[in-house]
Amino acid sequence: MTRIGILGGTLDPIHCGHLAAAIAARDLLDLTEVLVVPSRIPPHRLVQPIASAFHRFAMACLAVSNVPRLAASDDELRAEGTSYTADTLERLRSRASRLSPLVPSQIFFITGVDAFADIATWKRYPEVLDLANFVVVARPGHALDGLRSKLPSLVDRMHPASDAGAGGAGTSIYLLPASTPDVSSTEVRDRLRRGQSITGLVPPLVETHILQHALYSACADAAADERANELHGQNREN
């Protein structure tokens, strides 16, 4: 059985909290691989990402470059229109079936508890919960404790992440009380706008990329986006 994790999101930029959540899920659930999937057009953002999709994919590639069993995926970048989780899960399920028809795959969608608390607003809810197992990770300031009272209709599907190896029919919602760094993409962007250091908040290679291309500052320009375009072409999935 292949167990594939998916960590999606705007990733504007990807930071150490994202990586910590992916690694915690990978280790506790014994995932074969975790795909980090930047959104092309995130549906829940009134203001679209500051960095282009190609920069955000480049940063995801750099962030996972030396992390075992983590890989960046440009699935949502290559799909037209808004990046909906349900559509992404269907594409990845279909691709896994084509590539390994004799080896069944389980898919685990990794998300923060704050995002999952709004699951009822997601496209094709509640059907989206049948397309993959969901791994809900605690975040600083956002504990898992209140999730059952906020989503009482889903309580029967919620289980500790340590039970994920038990298998069983259907999909489940696994609660993962991991300890992750207290950092957000908003904080990273704000610090850059103020000219403050982001060392330790993002992976070192991501910090280098941000500074080289003057992302999230008044110095960013169209030429930087074009260079990231070329980088994306070199990393395109087949």
Rounded Cα distance, 53 and 97, in Å: 27
What is the number of domains present in the chain?
Answer: 1
Q: List, for the chain, all residue ranges whose pLDDT scores fall below the cut of 70.
A: 46, 101-103, 166-169, 218-238
| 180-199 pLDDT per residue, tens | 999 999 999 999 999 999 99
b/e burial code for range 129-155 (CB count within 10 A of at least 16 → b): bebbbbbbbbbeeeebeebeeebeebe
Give the integer Cα–Cα distance in Å for 221 and 213. Answer: 8
Q: What is the pLDDT of residue 223?
A: 43
- Which DSSP letter does residue 163 get? G
Q: Which structural domain range is residue 144 located in?
A: 2-234
214: its two tokens: 């003057």
**pLDDT, tens only, 103-125:** 678 999 999 999 999 999 999 99
CATH number at residue 207: 3.40.50.620
Task: Work out the number of other CB atoms within 10 angstroms of the CB of residue 115.
Answer: 17
